[in-house]
């Protein structure tokens, strides 16, 4: 992004770039392999591996849990944990992380602003407020399994549209957009607090939304979110060329034949939909969308045809790593996953902000 990277930050040199790419890829694979072995309930590694090898089917004998003497019942419970909690949570982290990464890269491209991110722009908080309304009005959550994404979507749509308008009218100044997002986030947070006054019981459930987590993951949620990811991610990845041209300014993009209005509206709408869906199942998770595209640009350069899909991959890995840390940092407590992402993301955000100031000629 021009402003954030101040026309510079060319991708790392050829060989360094390949190393970095290989490192990221290896790290991702390792994460996926390790994650089913991690959780708040201690299960011996050998048993976890045995359960994985056994497959998702029902466990009838303790033979599925090698390396330790356990009852068939215990083994069955462990298998249940691995296949019905750990793996769905892992998949949810991957899907939500991918959506946030894709959305962050796309928003940064649309607004020509390296500080754009679904969380900072208030999309996530808006979606969380939308979802919280359901709890507050005492709608049966089980029944609301499909109403939840719908409400989260409607909640996320509000900041999405406000940001879209501000971004166009206020000439996309980085400060303006980020501050608008912060202001919207504050408004939604206070609305959320107000709703909770009417239904204090919902407090606990809602606090989950504010920092996010994968604990409630189910295979159904996974299936839904992966569906959204494939549909939205596919379209977003196809519009990389248009995003590249938008970097020359909307006028130039249009003069070259890009239907600018339609493309930007489509992109903002799709990221809003996808973010809202992710938030509906995982709660608000900050900074994944901000950090991932920056990491990708370091490796592959500014081409959005690559940045958008790869930011999805990096986002998936980033969120999964954060989830693993959230589960293991302070056992037996499972931290909200928004805590580790913010620990990494917030200083990174500050670093970006400060670097922008330091570079002469880095127009806003």
Partner 1 sequence: MTDPGAPGLTVTGLTVRYRTLTALHGISLGVRPGEVLALAGPNGSGKTSFVRAVVGLAPVAEGRVEFGGRALASLSLEERARTIAWMPQEEPVGDNVPLREYVLYGRYPHSPRFAPVREQDRVIADRLLTELGFSDRAHVGIQELSGGERQRVRLGRVLAQETPVLLLDEPTAHLDMGHQLDLLERVRRLAHVEGRAVVAALHDLNLAARYADRVVVLQRGRIVADGLPSTVLSPALLRDVWGVTADLRTDPRTGLPYLIPRLIPADLRPSASPPFRRVHVVGGGGSATPILRALTAEGHRVTLGVVALFDSDAETAAELDVPVVAEIPFAPLGEEARAKNRDLLNEAEVIVVAPFPIGPGNLPVLEDVLDVAGRVPTYLVESPTPSARDFTGGLGASRLAALRPLSRVIANERELLRALAAPTPSTGADAHDADRGRVRPLERLEESR
Which residues are near partner 1 by CB under 8 A? 1-2, 5, 7-10, 112, 238, 241, 244-245, 247-249, 251-252, 254-259, 301-303, 361, 363
Comparison of 190 and 363: residue with beta carbon closer to partner 1:
363
Contact 299, 20 (CB under 8 A): yes
Closest approach, Cβ 228 to partner 1, in A, equals 20
DSSP 62: G
Residue 127 CB partners (closer than 8 Å, separation 6+): 152, 153, 155, 156, 275, 276, 279, 280, 284
Comparison of 179 and 238: residue with beta carbon closer to partner 1:
238
Closest approach, Cβ 249 to partner 1, in A, equals 5
d(CA 285, CA 45): 29
Closest approach, Cβ 358 to partner 1, in A, equals 16
Closest approach, Cβ 160 to partner 1, in A, equals 24
> Any idea which residue has 């987590």 for tokens?
213
Closest approach, Cβ 172 to partner 1, in A, equals 10
Closest approach, Cβ 10 to partner 1, in A, equals 5
SS3 304: helix
- C-beta neighbour count of 339 within 10 angstroms: 18
C-alpha neighbours within 13 Å on the C-beta side of residue 349 = 19
Q: Which long-range contacts (CB under 8 A, 24 or more apart) does 28-35 make?
A: 28/313, 28/316, 28/317, 31/317, 31/320, 31/321, 31/324, 32/90, 32/94, 32/320, 34/324, 35/86, 35/90, 35/93, 35/320, 35/323, 35/324
Tokens standing for residue 117: 């991110």
Comparison of 216 and 303: residue with beta carbon closer to partner 1:
303
Comparison of 9 and 32: residue with beta carbon closer to partner 1:
9
Comparison of 108 and 271: residue with beta carbon closer to partner 1:
108
Contact 62, 72 (CB under 8 A): yes
Comparison of 168 and 241: residue with beta carbon closer to partner 1:
241
Contact 283, 210 (CB under 8 A): yes
Comparison of 74 and 254: residue with beta carbon closer to partner 1:
254
Closest approach, Cβ 241 to partner 1, in A, equals 7
Tokens standing for residue 330: 């302070």
Contact 149, 276 (CB under 8 A): yes
Comparison of 220 and 255: residue with beta carbon closer to partner 1:
255
Comparison of 216 and 250: residue with beta carbon closer to partner 1:
250
Closest approach, Cβ 190 to partner 1, in A, equals 36
Closest approach, Cβ 175 to partner 1, in A, equals 16
Comparison of 249 and 331: residue with beta carbon closer to partner 1:
249
d(CA 231, CA 145): 20
Contact 304, 81 (CB under 8 A): no
Closest approach, Cβ 243 to partner 1, in A, equals 11
Instruction: Report angle CA 331, 336, 337 to the nearest 5 degrees.
Output: 100
d(CA 150, CA 127): 9
């Amino acid at each position: 992004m021009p402003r954030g990277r101040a026309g510079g930050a060319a991708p790392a040199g050829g060989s360094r770039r390949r190393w970095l790419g290989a490192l990221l890829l290896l790290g991702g694979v390792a994460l996926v392999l390790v994650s089913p072995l991690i959780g708040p309930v201690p299960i011996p590694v050998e048993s976890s591996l045995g359960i994985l090898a056994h497959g998702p089917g029902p466990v009838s004998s303790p033979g599925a849990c090698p390396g330790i003497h356990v009852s068939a019942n215990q083994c069955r419970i462990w298998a249940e944990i691995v296949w019905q909690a750990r793996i769905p949570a892992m998949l949810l982290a991957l899907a939500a992380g991918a959506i946030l990464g894709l959305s962050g890269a796309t928003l940064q491209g649309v607004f020509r602003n390296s500080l754009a991110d679904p969380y900072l722009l208030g999309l996530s908080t808006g979606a969380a407020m939308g979802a919280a309304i359901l709890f507050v009005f005492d709608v049966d959550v089980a029944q609301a399994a499909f109403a939840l994404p719908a409400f989260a979507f409607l909640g996320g749509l509000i900041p999405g549209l406000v940001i879209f308008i501000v971004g166009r009218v206020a000439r996309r100044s980085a400060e303006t957009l980020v501050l608008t997002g912060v202001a919207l986030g504050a408004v939604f947070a206070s609305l959320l607090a107000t709703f909770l006054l009417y239904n204090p019981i919902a407090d606990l459930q809602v606090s989950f939304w504010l920092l996010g987590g994968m604990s409630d993951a189910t295979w159904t949620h996974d299936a839904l979110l992966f569906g959204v990811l494939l549909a939205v991610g596919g379209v977003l990845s196809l519009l990389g060329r248009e995003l590249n041209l938008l970097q020359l300014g909307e006028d130039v993009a249009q003069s070259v034949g890009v239907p600018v209005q339609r493309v930007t509206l489509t992109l903002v709408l799709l990221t809003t939909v996808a973010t809202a869906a992710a938030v509906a199942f995982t709660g608000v998770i900050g900074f994944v969308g901000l950090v991932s595209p920056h990491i990708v640009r370091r490796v592959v350069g500014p081409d959005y045809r690559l940045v958008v899909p790869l930011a999805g991959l990096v986002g998936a890995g980033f969120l999964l790593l954060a989830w693993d840390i959230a589960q293991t940092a302070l056992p037996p407590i499972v931290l909200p996953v928004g805590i580790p992402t913010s620990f990494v993301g917030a200083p990174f955000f500050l670093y970006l902000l400060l670097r922008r100031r330091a570079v002469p000629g880095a127009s806003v």
